[in-house]
């Protein structure tokens, strides 16, 4: 990678090589659950290296690695001890560099997760803060406050953490006496950084450069909307800060002016990300970033702007049920937003935080992915869920913008339920009667590579989360040569998408009720049947369809077809 002068803007170029991310298919790897080479039951980079051919065979443009940094795993690696190293169970920096080289050798870009809202409580600077007195520069890098009550025995305010319980934890001072409290939006092992502190800002710029110099092409920015905070008194009551279970930001809008919520989406973030952009633009092509920002659509532009990160996740389809009206509204709104802000949209159905979409779509359309519980669907519901998931994915792969795919979805992998309580890892797991009934472990179970074998080819030594007996039927081995498998569908769709995806134009086609159809450049047409009866296909040659047929027969319910015309 060559170095150029910073310009403060994504350079306005031909939009393909330098802005490779605009229409990329990005495959998310959760490293601990992908492939284990050293037989310790935890996936590693040598395991990834052994699967580079597989990644290339998927026809994806980029791989995003969830955190692989040294971590005690209080939150699946999103509790980072050291931002510039690799956890020994996952490998070494040299292994990571070998992975980058191998992926680049196959034309696949590399994006890594960066976790700037909080570190882990084992980070050297947090330990220094604990060993230093109240009011010291070391404490100022985090959010320490005195407690309330006569002896400071009460937390500074009533704010709650995302994983439950108070957002404040009290520390013992260096002399052993009960002392100050620190703020953590997530688990107590994840103290929040103080982004008003210049050392914190500088240190993150150094981290961005560290990885940029090692060849990574971009970052997925964890909790991107959370870094700037107003922790000054008087503190608003928690009820005001976060009320209503669906979207704290939507409800926050009611009680705070835009950009003035104390914890999320504050205007000061612009300045922070402008600094990041300057670093990004010292690389050629410029580094890229996508923000994890659960914000209202009108605020997304601030993350996705050309003097900010570049792109921002839209989780709207992930949150939408199987409903034609919802799909059309979400697509239209996000395409308009992208066009108005010189960015591209992002389409996501699954990731490491939500129930896999093959299982989600077995539910009624009112199901809310981040909040509602689910139990294992019966076989008929599971089949419907998988059909809809395949149809939804094929539809989204035809849309302008980037598609973010989560490992295992290309196998149609369902969510794993009933993991024994003693195997729970997720801090948000809910346990009842000895099994996990809610949480994120069920979408993080190690991948099945082979149809049989103790760990289905993931490892020869173990699986850090138990794989169910039925897993082999969804393995890469079982699906590779099956023309109707989900794996074959993804491979073929991603291959065709690369060929067709030229401009970012879309035009809706009216094919009647319950059919969502649109055309793209090169005569590319996508048709999805949301109805209960088969739908006639428009004129054109069928190139791929999700209902197991390959001809021009009417399209089955819960299915998508691609055609080309001309």
Burial class of residue 327, CB neighbours in 10 A (0-12, 13-18, 19+): buried
Determine if 192 is a binding residue for ligand GLC (CB under 6 A). no
**Sequence-separated (6 or more) residues with CB below 8 Å from residue 127:** none
Determine if 65 is a binding residue for ligand GLC (CB under 6 A). no
CA-wise closest residue to 354 among 312, 403, 311, 415: 415
Q: How far is the CB of 187 from ligand GLC (least distance, A)?
A: 8
Structural tokens at position 291: 């923000």
Q: How far is the CB of 220 from ligand GLC (least distance, A)?
A: 9
How open is the CA angle 108-213-118, to the nearest 5 degrees?
90
- Options 26-34, 71-79, 125-133, 481-489: segment touching ligand GLC (CB under 6 A): 71-79
In this complex, which beta carbon is closest to ligand GLC, that of residue 79 or of residue 558? 79
d(CA 361, CA 74): 30
In this complex, which beta carbon is closest to ligand GLC, that of residue 95 or of residue 222? 222
In this complex, which beta carbon is closest to ligand GLC, that of residue 36 or of residue 79? 79
182, 168 contact by CB (below 8 A): yes
- Options 36-44, 74-82, 199-207, 237-245: segment touching ligand GLC (CB under 6 A): 74-82
In this complex, which beta carbon is closest to ligand GLC, that of residue 76 or of residue 91? 76
- Options 72-80, 135-143, 308-316, 530-538: segment touching ligand GLC (CB under 6 A): 72-80
Q: How far is the CB of 321 from ligand GLC (least distance, A)?
A: 22
Among 265, 353, 479, 558, binds ligand GLC (CB under 6 A): 353
Q: Which residues ranging from 114 to 173 are in contact with ligand GLC (CB under 6 A)?
A: 115
Q: How far is the CB of 223 from ligand GLC (least distance, A)?
A: 5
Q: How far is the CB of 233 from ligand GLC (least distance, A)?
A: 26
**What are the backbone dihedrals phi and psi of residue 350, each rounded to the nearest 5 degrees, phi first?**
-135, 150
- Options 75-83, 176-184, 376-384, 526-534: segment touching ligand GLC (CB under 6 A): 75-83
Distance between start and end Cα atoms, the chain: 41
Tell how strand 430-432 and strand 402-406 pair up: unpaired
Among 36, 75, 95, 441, binds ligand GLC (CB under 6 A): 75
The number of beta carbons lying within 10 Å of the beta carbon of residue 541 is: 12
In this complex, which beta carbon is closest to ligand GLC, that of residue 194 or of residue 526? 194
Q: How far is the CB of 351 from ligand GLC (least distance, A)?
A: 7
Q: How far is the CB of 304 from ligand GLC (least distance, A)?
A: 18
In this complex, which beta carbon is closest to ligand GLC, that of residue 186 or of residue 349? 186
Q: How far is the CB of 101 from ligand GLC (least distance, A)?
A: 27
Q: Which residues ranging from 371 to 400 are in contact with ligand GLC (CB under 6 A)?
A: none
Q: For ligand GLC, what does the binding mask look like between residues 432 and 451, x meaning CB under 6 A?
A: --------------------
Determine if 78 is a binding residue for ligand GLC (CB under 6 A). yes
367, 340 contact by CB (below 8 A): no
Q: How far is the CB of 219 from ligand GLC (least distance, A)?
A: 13
Rg of the chain (C-alpha set): 24
Q: How far is the CB of 318 from ligand GLC (least distance, A)?
A: 12
Q: How far is the CB of 352 from ligand GLC (least distance, A)?
A: 6
In this complex, which beta carbon is closest to ligand GLC, that of residue 162 or of residue 279? 162
Q: For ligand GLC, what does the binding mask look like between residues 250 and 289, x meaning CB under 6 A?
A: ----------------------------------------
Report DSSP letters for 454-508, one per residue: TTTTS-SS--SSPPPGGGGGGSHHHHHT-TTSHHHHHHHHHHHHHHH--S---EE
- Residue 390 in 3-state DSSP? helix
Count residues binding ligand GLC (CB under 6 A): 10
Buried b (16+ CB within 10 A) or exposed e, 145-175: bebeeeebeebbbbbebbbeebbbbbbeeee
Q: How far is CA 2 from CA 253, 284, 308, 310, in A?
A: 43, 5, 21, 20
CA-wise closest residue to 179 among 120, 231, 135, 123: 135
In this complex, which beta carbon is closest to ligand GLC, that of residue 59 or of residue 311? 311
In this complex, which beta carbon is closest to ligand GLC, that of residue 185 or of residue 338? 185
Q: How far is the CB of 379 from ligand GLC (least distance, A)?
A: 30
In this complex, which beta carbon is closest to ligand GLC, that of residue 226 or of residue 540? 226
Q: How far is the CB of 93 from ligand GLC (least distance, A)?
A: 22
CA-wise closest residue to 388 among 448, 330, 317: 317
The H or E element containing residue 21 is none
Q: How far is the CB of 416 from ligand GLC (least distance, A)?
A: 17
d(CA 241, CA 261): 7
- Residue 358 in 3-state DSSP? helix
Tell how strand 515-520 and strand 524-529 pair up: antiparallel
Q: How far is CA 385 from CA 361, 362, 557, in A?
A: 4, 4, 12
49, 31 contact by CB (below 8 A): no
The number of beta carbons lying within 10 Å of the beta carbon of residue 383 is: 14
Determine if 222 is a binding residue for ligand GLC (CB under 6 A). yes
Closest residue to ligand GLC, Cβ-based? 78
In this complex, which beta carbon is closest to ligand GLC, that of residue 35 or of residue 223? 223
In this complex, which beta carbon is closest to ligand GLC, that of residue 353 or of residue 547? 353
In this complex, which beta carbon is closest to ligand GLC, that of residue 129 or of residue 354? 354
Determine if 186 is a binding residue for ligand GLC (CB under 6 A). yes
CA-wise closest residue to 316 among 330, 328, 329, 304: 330
Q: How far is the CB of 254 from ligand GLC (least distance, A)?
A: 23
Q: Footprint of ligand GLC on this chain (CB under 6 A)? A: 75-76, 78, 115, 186, 222-223, 292, 352-353
């Amino acid at each position: 990678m060559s170095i150029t002068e910073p310009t403060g803007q994504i350079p306005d170029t031909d939009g393909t090589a330098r802005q490779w991310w605009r229409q990329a298919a990005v495959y998310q790897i959760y490293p601990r659950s992908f492939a284990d080479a050293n037989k310790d039951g935890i996936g590693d980079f040598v395991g990834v290296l052994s699967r580079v051919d597989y990644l290339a065979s998927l026809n994806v443009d980029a791989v995003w690695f969830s955190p692989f940094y040294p971590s005690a795993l209080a939150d699946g690696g999103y509790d980072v001890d050291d931002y510039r190293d690799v956890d020994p169970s996952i490998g070494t920096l040299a292994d990571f560099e070998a992975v980058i080289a191998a992926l680049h050798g196959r034309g696949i870009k590399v994006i890594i997760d960066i976790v700037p809202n909080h570190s882990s409580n084992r980070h050297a600077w947090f330990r220094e803060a604990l060993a230093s007195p109240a009011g010291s520069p070391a404490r100022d890098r985090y959010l320490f406050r005195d407690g309330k009550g006569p002896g400071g025995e009460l937390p500074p305010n009533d704010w709650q953490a995302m994983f439950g319980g108070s957002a404040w934890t009290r520390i013992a001072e260096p002399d052993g006496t009960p002392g100050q409290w620190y703020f953590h939006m997530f688990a107590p092992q994840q103290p929040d950084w103080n982004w008003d502190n210049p050392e914190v800002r500088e240190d993150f710029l150094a981290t961005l450069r560290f990885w940029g110099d090692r060849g990574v092409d971009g970052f997925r920015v964890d909790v991107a909307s959370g870094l700037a905070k107003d922790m000054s008194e008087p503190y608003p009551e928690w009820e005001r800060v976060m009320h209503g279970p669906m979207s704290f930001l939507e409800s926050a809008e009611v009680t705070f002016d835009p950009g003035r919520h104390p914890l999320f989406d504050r205007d000061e973030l612009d300045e922070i990300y402008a600094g990041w952009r300057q670093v990004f633009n010292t690389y050629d092509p410029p580094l890229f970033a996508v923000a994890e920002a659960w914000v209202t659509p009108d605020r997304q532009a601030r993350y996705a702007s050309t003097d900010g990160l570049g792109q921002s996740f839209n989780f709207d389809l992930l949150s939408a049920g199987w409903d034609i009206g919802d799909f059309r509204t979400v697509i239209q709104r996000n395409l308009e937003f992208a066009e108005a802000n010189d960015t591209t949209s992002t389409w996501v159905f699954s990731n490491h935080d939500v129930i896999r979409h093959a299982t989600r779509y077995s539910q009624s359309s009112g199901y809310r992915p981040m909040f509602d519980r689910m139990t294992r669907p019966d076989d008929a519901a599971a089949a419907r869920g998988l059909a809809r998931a395949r149809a939804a994915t094929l539809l989204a792969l035809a849309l302008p913008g980037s598609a973010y795919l989560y490992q295992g979805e290309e196998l149609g992998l369902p969510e794993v339920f009933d993991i024994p309580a003693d195997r729970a890892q997720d801090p948000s797991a809910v346990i009842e009667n000895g099994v996990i009934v809610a949480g994120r472990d069920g979408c993080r179970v190690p991948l099945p590579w082979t149809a049989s074998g103790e760990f289905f080819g993931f490892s020869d030594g173990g699986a850090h989360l138990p794989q169910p007996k039925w897993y082999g039927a969804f393995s890469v081995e079982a699906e590779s040569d099956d023309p109707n498998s989900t794996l074959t569908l993804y491979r073929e769709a991603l291959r065709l998408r690369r060929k067709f995806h030229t401009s970012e134009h879309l035009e809706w086609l009216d094919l009647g009720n319950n059919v969502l159809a649109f055309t793209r450049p090169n005569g590319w047409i996508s048709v999805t049947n949301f109805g209960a009866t088969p739908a006639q296909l428009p004129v054109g040659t069928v190139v791929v369809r999700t209902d197991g047929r390959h001809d021009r027969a009417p399209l089955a319910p819960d299915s998508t077809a691609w055609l080309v015309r001309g």
